[in-house]
Chain A
Amino acid sequence: MEMNSIQVPLTKAEIKERKRSESQKKRSELRKNIAKNKMIYLMIAPGLLYLFIYKYIPMFGMIIAFQDYKPYLGIAGSEWVGLEHFKRLFTSSDFWMILKNTLVLFALQILIYFPIPIILSLMLNELRKEYYKKTIQTMIYLPHFMSWVVVVSISYVLLTLDGGIINGLLKNFGLKEINFLLDSSWFRPMYILQIIWREAGWGTIIFLAAIASVDPQLYEAAKMDGANRFRQMWHITLPAIKSVIIILLILKIGDVLELGFEHVYLLLNSTNRHVAEIFDTYVYVAGLRQGQFSYATAVGLFKGVVGLILVVFANWLAKKNGEEGIY
């Protein structure tokens, strides 16, 4: 570290030269590495091929966002319209509403949902009886395997004013009935609670795996130093899984505009549209149902770009703070 102090500033040309030789060195290192581990690289090949065929070739289709795409004319035959579809999106009277709704639901996911699996797995980790732990785990994994249709239907049956159990209970206790399904202020709580109910248990898997890899000696040492359960959790477990948390958080941020079309679409109705309409549901009606592929693609592309920017930003932020990041 002290070496820095005596370093002479480099000229631009020197920097360039140094960078080039560095990258050359890297490249030849990569080659050596490949030659050494060729079987491993060979095993990667099918995966790369898969990515190429199913992820990269379809990207080519994105150019229809700049066309007035007609399926029977194909990409080659369709007319170019430039940024027309993007203009239409940005000038649509609903654009800001949709953007806001999308961001609010995203914030709810990050702030409320995201920490829950972590807390849950910390709590599960504290359970010393394997039997209890396994039972609870199984129980909280189960909802993940239900489709959104089922989850939303169950909520409907519980919450409806026409003989729903919850409103029945409220009435029995002499309280006022609550119109959960048609009152727009209940949309967001319902949305996030359903996600927590369905996904929180499943989300613990990866954190429990991270916790399991913590060196037990650390705990022993901490115990020697007189740390109680909570202290051990705070000073050992949490720091140990910090990098996993950050990586998952960055990945989650990448999904910023992917809030689960099916889920929102099922909850969406005439009274809550002003808080529930998101890009996915908007595209479904304005784009796909009416066969406006170009427009739908343009909206999808916009979503993707916003997601990408956020991931890059989050990753940069993580690295700046001395974390590993995802690349």
Chain B
Amino acid sequence: MACHHKNSHHKLDLEDSSKKLVLVGNPNVGKSIFFNYLTGIYVAVSNYPGTTLDITKGRYQDFTVLDTPGVYGVSSFNDEEIVARDVIMAADIVVNVVDAVHLERDLFLTQQIIDMGIPVIIALNMMDEAEKNGLSIDIDRLSSELGVPVIPTTAVSGKGLSELKASLNRARVGESIFEKHNELTEKLAKMNEETTSTRDALLILEGDPHLADRYRLKPMNFREEIYRIRRKRVDQIIDNVVSDLNDGKGVKATLSRMMVNPVTGVPLLLITLYILYQLIGVFIAQTVVGLTEEAFFLEIYEPFIRNLVSRVIPAASFTSKLLIGEFGILTMAVTYVFGLLLPLVIGFYFFLSILEDSGYMPRIAALVDRTLTSLGLNGRAIIPMLLGFGCVTMATITTRLLGSKRERIIAIFLLGLAIPCSAQLGVIVGLISPLGVKYFLIYVFVLLLVYVLSGTFLNKVLPGKSTDLLIDLPPLRIPRIGNVLNKTRIKSFAFIKEAGPIFVLGAVIITVLQETGILIYIQELVAPITIGWLRLPPEVATAFVMGIIRRDFGAAGLNSLAMTPSQTTVALITITLFVPCIAAMMIMVKERNWKEATAIWFGSWFTAFIVGGLVALFI
């Protein structure tokens, strides 16, 4: 049931015969405004098979208009690029949105699309910003150098949009770099004989394995040579068309520096995290979830659905337990996913979209790169780590953006081990704050220590090498609320679609464990560890088992026990380090495999009990 759920509906169809207008551009160049302007409100969102990415589709006159994820080039380095590549390959015309402030970066993609022989029209966007930066661009010259029409636009204020619309029929194939390089032209011509189009031929020359496979050819290795010539050509064009550069010394340049310099960057980051905590940890986790989970789902929805189901199915039956029992599919799973997780996920993605669109996120990555490097990660891992405080399951999915398998294993282990998710965090804060600052500091210090030590350890023992940071720092901008909301919606929806079925499966497993008596057996099994080694009351074992089901259940289970402050601290540390919840575990299996997930699982058990016991010895 759960395994092929993801792709079963809204599958994107690129094979239909309609004429396709594809919007292409680097990340954050304002493509969505063009999409909305062209298509109006009637758009469809469809999932791209095999990924969490969604493609928005609409209509303009007789064109099907397709949006693509922001990419720096057409190839297959990651999910975004694979999706963008496939959609671009199906294009009849491409509207390439280019950031006028970042021609160096953006024109590389432009030139690649031109080289593919696809008719293009360019929207040279952010013209207002280019002017503010003292940049003067010779648009006619740019158009003649590239051989395609260039329309200057400032999409945010609607400037140039109607001109672009009116010029769509002028889109054409531009000046390919191959025209001036005889050797390459020959290679392309030869490849052209074996394929059905220049775009296929070019990507095979550039070593794209998927396309080569389609033609049963071996991918060629001329990528670097072609990229080098393309880069040279782009630099040449820029030298010819851009002038009057006054090196940015404005407010943005200063702020940009402050964000990456530790002296100012760390306080800025702490302020940002504080705002994040206030939004997610206080406002959403307490106020909003109080309304959605407790007031709505627990008090109105659950009694309603219990009542409804119990009319048809006898209350004592296994089916009834499965559907509406303590861990039922229609009760716990639904309440958990929509009442608790959804508000948190929306809040997190909203905050992250703002960080992303403002250009602050990559600067945080640069700031923390040094610290994360010693844990075998690089600065980019800050994104899943931040998300982990919202929901480890969501964060685990995001580790896909990391550069190597090794980094993913480290990140997933650290997420499962030492990052308390927001559901748990709320309960923990409630338990530990009455004990006084000393215990709070012990808690934070121990977790931080475990986090750093485990990362360092994994970095030492895991074979291979982690990738280095190499990221583009986009200009700082005030995010557009429409874009932020849109991103939040798409990502939250994708998360629920991915994680929802897994929570259902988790609910089923737990119900089975409970009904067969295995749950009680496990409780008795771990009792010696809890009493003997951790020096905690025997009832804590129940909380631990609950913690497997849901991390905050575990922490909440400690609430009712009479313990000394030291015992509470030990119990909280152990339960934080203890295994990730069953949903996170299922996602780990899905993202990695059974073997690694099990290793991570037992690794967490082991670490949790060792550390808990050690802390119990010392305090």
Bound together:
no
> Which A residues contact B (CB, under 8 angstroms)?
none
